[in-house]
Amino acid sequence: MKSRCPYDLDRLRNKGVFLSIGRRLTSGKLIRARNLREAADILSDRLALAQALELEIVGLNGSPSLFIYIPSLLARPHIIVGYHESGLPILIAVEDLKGHFCVVGLTQAGKSLVLGLIGYQLVRLGHGAVFLGMKAPDPMPLAHMRWACESKTRLDDQGHRVSAPFAYFTLEFNTRTRSLNCQVQWRWNLPKWLKAGVLLKSLGRDGFINDRLGHYFTTSEQALLQKVPDWGDSLRELRDAVERVKQTREEYKSTSGLRHELAQLAEIDQLNLPAGHPSSIDVAAMLKERGVIYFDPCCLDLGSVGTAVAAYFLQTVIFIKRNLIPDRNKRLYIFIDEGQKLPLSLVAGWIEQLAAYGMHLGLTVQNISQLGDYAETISMTQTRIVFSAVPEGLTDRLIRSLCGTAKEWAPSFSVGQSNSLSAGESVGPSGTTVSTGSVTGEQLGFSLTEHDAPAWTTNDTLNLNNNTDEFLVSVTAGHFGPTPIRCQRGGVVIPFDVANALAEDTLKNSPNGFLPGQPPVKQLPAPATPNPLADKRAAWLATLKAKAEKIRNSLPR
Amino acid sequence: MPKQLSRTDQVLLYWLARTGGLRAEDARKYPGLEHIRTTEAMTKRLDRLCAAGYVAASPLLRGPRLYRLSQKGARLTSAPNSYTAKPTAGKLVQLVSISAVGARVKEVVFVSPQQLASLAQDLSVDPIPANFPGRFALRTFPASDAANGHDGETHVFYWLAENRSPENLVKRVETIIAKLRTYALFASLIELDLFGVAVAVPSMAAKAALEQKPFPTKTEFWVLEQLHDVIP
């Protein structure tokens, strides 16, 4: 563990990032950030940064400031995640989040807060984002995301500062929300086998390749979906269409899982409104405008239904990003709070494959062992932030492995004493000789033996758990060398009371939101404009309707 | 109706007279025939009517046969004589498509030439011939169908099921619309946005290809996989 300067300055210089500790680099115009909030704001506002030549971020508790040459920051944007234990600000290059990042910590450790802090800066830097809160609406990340969207840190075509669009979706009971019909987001005429595959995957109904029984059900369900002539424009219509498909008794049994899951999803109002509904979120447009969608499937109450909704939504987002904006430099960050609640096979697959398409994951989990068989894959994220760990648990072992070993010298002492006695008798011509002898000796020894010992011990874990303000940061091939560094928070960007007010405002006053389950508000008709054809059309419509009714009534029953 | 025909047989003949032809699998879904639980039972019943001389069967390229009225059946039901003629390949495409859709009476009701003539009379426009060619339907849009702005409205649709390339289908629709415009009934329906063309296609891919084409009027595409049985 490094306790003094955490930065590998030579490597930074080679990467083109010029920074100095306690000393100015230039005599040009300087911007000063006195705390975490100011640092996060200025680092994520490229337009403000471009006004000066050098940035000073004041260290914590009297620690020296960090000076950074701004052109290098503009070329390689950075974000702040906290302060080193020595008080120096800790910056991470946005490039180092390309290999995904993971935040681990016990409950109430502040994982969501860090996710919000990182998301806040990335969105202000102009990246699109999707935030998936897998428990229930969480004021801190929600407020960070919304505030980031409302920050005017981007330029439009005319060079004016503009904000980014923000949309909020929730399955929370009695809460206003936008609607998101995943079915109508698919703007491509996809073959049915492909749509069926994506739907089954997102519902967690694939992944049975090595399980013959599971494979039987998956293929049955795929076959059923392929038989549906028209999928309709919502899960509700799909459910009805699926129910109309003729099946044998055996097929009916083998596809009951899918039909039941579709039946659950079809009942959710906010997932089934038509595309033209005012509350509808257009995912493609949001991605194009690099906005933020905050998606709350409310798993705390809904369990597996919420999980299925979240997975289907994310799979839709991923598909749209890949096909609509394939440029990997136009990045989309996907933040998943409590990632262990999603199907882990999906998350592992995303970690392995998404970065190649310009999508980067940020996950929080309580501990690595929640990730089950996929723990190793999901731990492969490039940046890891650890708040706490169960001693001797899987997370603890991961930290220990990341910290490597340290050289230690084991002293040894030796004390010895020897006594020897001798007696002799010799007979010769001169007579007999008798001799006796005694030798006494003492030895004192001291030696030092070199050996490797874990640099991180259980006591370190206990200390980390005991201090809720501390965390470890490890970035593979980052600025800090191969081992993690010990950091502290050093404040918040948005105070808790402000965050709560912002979150409440989002839940209650989001434009175009609606309250699911409530009867629609009757719209007053617009004043009719005089139209000579309107009356004729109304009369003809009535005649056509009456004719159709008459014919229907004459049909045999 | 002869006494030896059961109520179900009579209903079956009625639907054959309305649609022009039915397949056993589709016939089970028609109002008044839902109590016949299996396709085999329906096939058996239709075969019995064949043996009795009321119905004739036409083989398709693939799959089960299409049943239509014989001369005797047409006389019994007062169906047009043209329904009894052996259908050409093109006619079969149309009959199979109508057979597949005709049971969905809440959405679409096919009208006979006489009913179309009576509609013109109800709308107080110039009369049209009682044997007006082509198949027409009254299409009722569902009340929740906000996508096209025709919530709960009933329009007149021309039913087009032909095995043609997308370009030729566009030309065909243009020709049909040009001919229909010469009649006051259809000219007014088109002007009031109460007329459309329903095109039956065998696959989503065909639908996707047609959706890119400019049609001269409101056009709907119905994907009917049953058409694979009649298209070479």
Which of B122, B195, B212 is the best mutation test for A, with the most CBs of A within 10 A? B122
Question: Beta strands A166-170 and A161-162: pairing type?
Answer: unpaired
Sign of CA dihedral A191, A192, A193, A196: positive
**Strand order through the sheet with B108-111:** B108-111, B135-140, B154-160, B195-201, B219-223
β-strand partners of A154? A162
Classified as helix, coil or strand, B222 is strand
Q: To which H or E segment does residue A43 belong?
A: helix A36-43
A324 Cβ contact partners less than 8 Å away, ≥ 6 residues apart: A187, A284, A287, A288
Q: Residue A536: which of B119, B154, B192 has the nearest Cβ? A: B192
Mind listing the pLDDT tens digit for each residue in A418-449? 888 888 888 888 788 888 888 888 888 888 88
B139 Cβ contact partners less than 8 Å away, ≥ 6 residues apart: B107, B108, B154, B155, B156, B157, B196, B198, B220
Find how far residue A245's CA is from the centre of its chain: 39
Q: Residue A544: which of B146, B155, B225 has the nearest Cβ? A: B155
- Whole-angstrom distance between the N-terminal and C-terminal Cα of chain A? 83
Q: Count chain A–chain B contacts defined by CB atoms under 8 A.
A: 74
pLDDT reading at A531 higher than 90 = no
Task: Copy the structure tokens of residue B56.
Answer: 């004739």
Alpha-carbon torsion, ordered A6, A8, A12, A17, to 10 deg: 30
Q: For tokens 């910590």, what's the residue?
A: A105
DSSP string, A102-170: EEE--TTSSHHHHHHHHHHHHHHTT-EEEEEESSS--HHHHHHHHHHHHS--EE-TTS-EE---EEEEE
Half-sphere exposure of A64 (CA within 13 A, CB side): 12
Inter-chain residue contact A547 with B105, CB threshold 8 Å: no
pLDDT reading at A151 higher than 60 = yes
A260-277: average pLDDT: 87
What was the pLDDT predicted at B2? 55
Classified as helix, coil or strand, B145 is coil
A536 contact residues in B (CB cutoff 8 A): 188, 192
Task: Copy the structure tokens of residue B98.
Answer: 């109508």
pLDDT reading at B189 higher than 80 = yes
pLDDT reading at A116 higher than 60 = yes
Residue of chain A whose alpha carbon sits nearest to that of B156: A544
pLDDT reading at A525 higher than 70 = no
What was the pLDDT predicted at B208? 83
Query: Which position has the higher pLDDT, A134 or B54?
Result: B54
A473-484: average pLDDT: 90
What was the pLDDT predicted at A471? 94
Find how far residue B156's CA is from the centre of its chain: 13
Sign of CA dihedral A198, A203, A205, A207: positive
Q: Residue B140: which of A277, A548, A557 has the nearest Cβ? A: A548
Q: Left, alpha or beta for B32 (phi > 0: left; psi -120 to 50: alpha)?
A: left
CA distance B154 to chain A (A): 5
Q: Residue B109: which of A277, A541, A552 has the nearest Cβ? A: A552
A301 Cβ contact partners less than 8 Å away, ≥ 6 residues apart: A136, A171, A172, A173
Kindly report the average pLDDT of chain B as a whole number. 88
What was the pLDDT predicted at A137? 80
What was the pLDDT predicted at A165? 92
Mind listing the pLDDT tens digit for each residue in A14-50? 889 999 999 999 999 999 999 999 999 999 999 899 9
pTM: 0.64
8 Å CB contact between A502 and A149 = no
How far apart CA A181 and CA A277 sit, in angstroms, is: 10
pLDDT reading at A353 higher than 50 = yes
Q: For tokens 């097929």, what's the residue?
A: A251
What was the pLDDT predicted at B155? 93
Inter-chain residue contact A540 with B188, CB threshold 8 Å: yes
Q: Residue A540: which of B138, B192, B223 has the nearest Cβ? A: B192
A424 Cβ contact partners less than 8 Å away, ≥ 6 residues apart: A433, A434, A435, A436, A437
Q: For tokens 């617009």, what's the residue?
A: A526
CATH class assigned to B7-85: mainly alpha
Q: Which among B167, B157, B155 has a CA at the least distance from the CA of B219?
A: B157
A232 burial class (0-12, 13-18, 19+ CB within 10 angstroms)? Answer: middle
What was the pLDDT predicted at B145? 47
ipTM of predicted complex: 0.91
Query: Which position has the higher pLDDT, B203 or A512?
Result: B203
Question: Beta strands A101-104 and B55-58: pairing type?
Answer: unpaired
CA distance B5 to chain A (A): 16
8 Å CB contact between B99 and B26 = yes
Q: Which among B59, B38, B56 has a CA at the least distance from the CA of B47?
A: B56
Inter-chain residue contact B31 with A557, CB threshold 8 Å: yes
pLDDT band, residue B174 (cuts 50/70/90):
very high
What was the pLDDT predicted at A389? 92
Please tell me the least confidently modeled range out of A2-11, A62-71, A203-212, A323-332: A203-212
Task: Copy the structure tokens of residue B221.
Answer: 């595409």
What was the pLDDT predicted at A148? 93
Ranges A266-270, A338-342, A504-508, B155-159, most confident: B155-159
**Residue type at B85 in one-letter notation:** A
pLDDT reading at B4 higher than 80 = no
A275 contact residues in B (CB cutoff 8 A): 147
How far apart CA B82 and CA B75 sit, in angstroms, is: 12
Question: Beta strands A332-337 and B55-58: pairing type?
Answer: unpaired
Which of B115, B145, B154, B210 is the best mutation test for A, with the most CBs of A within 10 A? B154
Sign of CA dihedral A213, A214, A216, A217: positive
A500-511: average pLDDT: 83
SS (H, E, C) A203-245: CCCCCCCCCHHHHHHHHHHHHHHHHCCCCCCCHHHHHHHHHHC
8 Å CB contact between B195 and A543 = no
Find how far residue A66's CA is from the centre of its chain: 28
B209-226: average pLDDT: 88
A335-342: average pLDDT: 88
Kindly report the average pLDDT of chain A as a whole number. 87
How far apart CA A296 and CA A309 sit, in angstroms, is: 10
For chain B, which residues make up each domain, given as ranges? 7-85, 109-229
Q: Residue A548: which of B31, B32, B138 has the nearest Cβ? A: B138
What was the pLDDT predicted at A124? 94
Q: Residue A552: which of B105, B122, B193 has the nearest Cβ? A: B105
pLDDT band, residue A198 (cuts 50/70/90):
confident
8 Å CB contact between B140 and B152 = yes
Q: Residue A274: which of B146, B154, B207 has the nearest Cβ? A: B146
B32 contact residues in A (CB cutoff 8 A): 555-557
Inter-chain residue contact B147 with A233, CB threshold 8 Å: yes
Which of B30, B148, B192 is the best mutation test for A, with the most CBs of A within 10 A? B192
pLDDT reading at B116 higher than 70 = yes
Classified as helix, coil or strand, A406 is strand
Q: Which among A359, A394, A393 has a CA at the least distance from the CA of A375?
A: A394
A441 phi/psi in degrees, rounded to 5? -135, 155
Inter-chain residue contact B147 with A555, CB threshold 8 Å: no
Inter-chain residue contact A555 with B31, CB threshold 8 Å: yes
How far apart CA A38 and CA A493 sit, in angstroms, is: 8
Task: Copy the structure tokens of residue B229.
Answer: 């049985």
**Residue type at A384 in one-letter notation:** R
Which positions in chain B have a beta carbon within 8 angstroms of at least one beta carbon in chain A? 11, 14-15, 31-32, 105-106, 109, 111, 115, 119, 122-123, 138, 140, 144, 146-147, 153-156, 188-189, 191-194, 204-205, 207-208, 211, 223-225
β-strand partners of B201? B223
β-strand partners of A408? A451
Q: To which H or E segment does residue A431 belong?
A: strand A431-454
A306-328: average pLDDT: 88
8 Å CB contact between A180 and A273 = no
Which of B109, B151, B195 is the best mutation test for A, with the most CBs of A within 10 A? B109
